[in-house]
Amino acid sequence: MSNVTVIGTQWGDEGKGKIVDWLASRADIVVRFQGGHNAGHTLVVGDQVYKLSLLPSGLVRGKIGVIGNGVVVDPKALMTEIDRVTAQGLVVTPETLWIAENAPLILPVHGALDRAREAARGDHKIGTTGRGIGPAYEDKVARRAIRICDLAEPETLDWKLDELLLHHNTLLAGLGAETFTKDQLKDFLAEITPRLLPFSCQVWDRLDEGRRAGRRILFEGAQAVMLDVDHGTYPFVTSSNTVAAVAASGSGVSPSSVGFVLGIAKAYTTRVGEGPFPTELHDQTGRTLGERGHEFGTVTGRPRRCGWFDAVLIRRAVRVGGVSGIALTKLDVLDGLDEISICVGYELDGQKIETFPSAPGAQARVKPVYETMPGWKETTAGARSWAELPAQAIKYVRRIEELIEAPVTLLSTSPERDDTILMRDPFED
């Protein structure tokens, strides 16, 4: 029996929500270990649609949900989300939701700074959601963050707010934005403290107890490897590390607890926001992929940019992310296309290269080198076994496996939870 860690291998929005939901039914504990409320998972359970940003997906299946220390927590957003899913019939209590007491908080000043900076960038904007995730992570690294445990110590909180405002108000004033007073932040924290503190605990200790008791743990990543602050398309990335190794440090468990690493990838590629995208399609095929795949960001509502499957990027994600197997989603979106292309390499300034460069200028100039395969006219939608797939669809999946150097262990053929083909059980690895 193994734990499982789920990460995205592209730029997010790969359909992690359905896969995590499918796996959560077999787990005991589901842990969020990085990111903030800038990433979303959409789960369809019967006639209910749950849109989660901070809450671990396992709560929908009645499992214990954990928000680890690697997550930056917007308390207002969290409470709004709890109220919304409670109205849909879920039970969210301190017994079912554990939040790391050492998780940093996102305060109103963080969102204000995030939006002011993005506006000041003009044509060089990064495409952030403006929700304060980046500035909150900056405060964590700079050792001025307000953490959940600080809410129980008013004397500590007082001087920490002074330090935080000294930094942020200077920046906000320089950007021509409205500054904050200490009383404003105190009032904000006083309002949320009674609801937030009961959920806080020493998550690392409870997870260790669970591990010793043989409970199955599912670690749920947000965003994806190409948005990793070290390994992604920097600076058009998120503000945290998104690779599987962070499941350990972001929740307080040992590296050996990460278990089977399941990388999620679409059968094509999408991206929300700014930044390089070598295989992006600006033609009717790109629009068709977006329409069929209902490609709009769960959190932002922004239309996703669409393009062909990029095997070079995913091979990199497999290597740096420690991916054991791939869950390939949305194969059915490709149904009926005459031809399907896969990016197998790049050209940069007239030279062939086999890996994606790190410099942003070079990333913007790379041109994809494609291998084209025949499409299939039959439908894959709703298939639950290999025998139900068209021969050409199977060839496409097998070619992807060769190019990314990893096996496809799960195949999703529709948004429905049970329309999933299992080749290898991650929990039994």
Q: Which of 13, 114, 139, 228 is catalytic?
A: 13
13 is annotated as an active-site residue: yes
Q: Would residue 349 be called left, alpha or beta, if left means φ above 0 and alpha means ψ between -120 and 50 degrees?
A: left
Cβ(309)–Cβ(342) under 8 Å? yes
Tokens coding 86: 């409670």
139 is annotated as an active-site residue: no
Write the CB contacts of 92 (distance below 8 Å, at least 6 apart in sequence): 55, 59, 65, 82, 85, 86
For residues 14 and 11, give the distance between their C-alpha atoms in angstroms, rounded to a whole number. 8
Cβ(367)–Cβ(347) under 8 Å? yes
For residues 287-306, one letter each, b for 16 or more C-beta atoms within 10 angstroms of the residue's C-beta and e for the rest, the string is ebbbebbebebbbbeeebbb
Q: Which of 21, 28, 37, 41 is catalytic?
A: 41
Q: Tell me which residue has tokens 């690697």.
A: 70
Question: How far is CA 99 from its chain centroid?
Answer: 18
The 3 state secondary structure assigned to 134-192 is HHHHHHHHCCCCCEHHHHHCHHHHHHHHHHHHHHHHHHHHHCCCCCCCHHHHHHHHHHH
CA angle 195, 201, 202 (to 5 degrees): 160
Quick one: 274 exposed, middle or buried, by C-beta within 10 A (0-12, 13-18, 19+)?
Answer: middle
- Closest by alpha carbon to 74, among 10, 128, 131? 131
| Residues belonging to the active site | 13, 41
